[in-house]
Amino acid sequence: MSRRRKRRSGEEVELNLAAMLDMAFQLLTFFILTFKPAPVEGQINLRLPPPVGITRAGGSDAGTDFNAKEPPKGLTTLVISAFSQRDGSLAQLAVGETPVGTLSALDNRLQTVFADKSTPFDQVIIYVGPELRYDELMRVIEVCTRQRLPDGSRLSKLSFVEMPSGG
């Protein structure tokens, strides 16, 4: 008891910081070596339901209802085609059966189509060439998602269909 009292009154207790500093440097080295900042990535959010047959309505195929007198009402579908070249680049675009030369022409055409409020589309299908590269496809998707629907919302619901080889 008396010894402890003496030390308290006479000597200064010094912490050995060297060991703590060693450990801190090791931790620091670990964090510096494992530090890899994640790249800033953007994204385009889409709903991609599987495409539905355009001559199908109300879950029935054409000709299945014997008593039906009216022809089956098809889904109003906007078809956009993106043809690819062998190297994966974009060869040709079309809206319906109308060819459009460039992405800006596609933009103009889609604006005209969506401005017509009398024909709201049930689905938008993009037919894509099998070799089309992802970056080329994203340019087409970017143009599509820029469009405003008659209700004011942006087009975010698409369906993809792969063209047969050679398309």
Partner 1 sequence: MSELESGEGKPNLTPILDMVFQLITFFMLVINFKSAALDLNLKLPVVGSARPVDTKGQESLLILNVDSQGDINVYGRKQPVKEYIAREAMAALIGAKRSQPDLEFGQELPTMVVIRADRTTPFKALNRVIMECQQNGFIRFALKAINREEKG
Choose between 20 and 68: whose C-beta lies nearer to partner 1: 20
Rounded Cα distance, 45 and 41, in Å: 13
Helices 134-145 and 103-115: angle between axes, nearest 10 degrees: 30
The yes or no reply on residue 86 touching partner 1 (CB under 8 A) is no
CA–CA gap between residue 96 and residue 100 (Å, rounded): 10
Among 83, 77, 79, residue whose Cα is nearest residue 137: 83
**Contact residue for partner 1 among 45, 67, 118, 153 (CB under 8 A):** 45
Nearer to partner 1, 1 or 18 (CB): 18
Q: Which of 78, 106, 110, 132 binds partner 1 (CB under 8 A)?
A: 132
Tell me the C-alpha distance between 133 and 131, whole Å.
6
Exactly one of 17, 69, 70, 118 binds partner 1 (CB under 8 A); that residue is: 17
Q: How far is the CB of 118 from partner 1 (least distance, A)?
A: 28
